[in-house]
Amino acid sequence: MLATGPGRTTKRGRNRLILTPYIEKFCRAVSTESPLTGQVYALRLHDFHTFLLKQYDIPIDIFIDKHQQFDVYDVLKEYHIHLKAQGLQRSTITSRIHAAKVFLEFNGIPISSTVFRLRVRAPTRRRVELEPLSKNDVRKIILGCQNTRLQTYVMTLAATGMREMKHYQLGIKTLIGRIARYL
């Protein structure tokens, strides 16, 4: 399925990727179980190859042969910045960086997972801790309700700690059974 010669086309008429020997060898190895996996890796690695040509003016095969001259983590970090600058989604960036990492490891370039996480990956977003409402705020909300039904609904949520849609999941028999226990 993978073409290496110029001018070959697919059934749809699009040009196939011209792959380097290292990329072709890797894609054949990963496509033993699934040919589609090899094609996807070929696309992702072609993008990494083009990045190396533009940024470092070196083909990917020579980069692998002379990887001692480069800091692999810096190259992958620059690739990450390059992908972010293109405006790609986080999942796309992750999959392309992962493909490059696996390809480099396949070709004998050691990459430590810990150092990789520290130097290449983008920092994760910190979740904002939400604080519960104070009693005074809850009282203000309940007193601010114009409708008696809405006021009862808000009081139920405040008293039970239920989320706003949870009460729809509860059946009337469940509520009556729970109320009867306390009577």
Per the domain annotation, does 129 fall within a domain?
no
**What residue numbers bound the domain in which 151 lies?**
135-182
pLDDT bin (cut points 50, 70, 90) of residue 125 is low
pLDDT, average across residues 85-95 = 89
pLDDT, average across residues 125-134 = 78
Per the domain annotation, does 174 fall within a domain?
yes
Q: Across all residues in the chain, what is the average pLDDT?
A: 81
Per the domain annotation, does 8 fall within a domain?
no
Question: What whole-number percentage of the chain has pLDDT above 90?
Answer: 32
Same domain, 97 and 162: no
Same domain, 87 and 147: no
Q: Report how far residue 93's alpha carbon sits from residue 76's, in angstroms, rounded to the nearest whole number.
A: 11
Per the domain annotation, does 3 fall within a domain?
no
Same domain, 140 and 168: yes
Same domain, 111 and 41: yes
Same domain, 165 and 102: no
Given this model, what pLDDT does residue 128 score?
77
Same domain, 113 and 156: no
Alpha helices in the chain (DSSP H): 21-30, 35-56, 60-65, 72-85, 90-106, 113-119, 135-144, 148-160, 166-169, 172-182
Q: Which of 85, 119, 153 is the last residue of a domain?
A: 119
Task: With a cut of 70, say whether residue 181 has pLDDT above it.
Answer: no
Q: How would you classify residue 108: left for phi > 0, otherwise alpha for psi between -120 and 50, otherwise beta? A: left
- How many separate domains does the chain show? 2
Same domain, 25 and 108: yes
Same domain, 139 and 110: no
Same domain, 26 and 62: yes
Per the domain annotation, does 76 fall within a domain?
yes
Residue 152 token pair: 């009862």
What tens digit of pLDDT does each residue of 11-27 get?
444 556 778 899 999 99
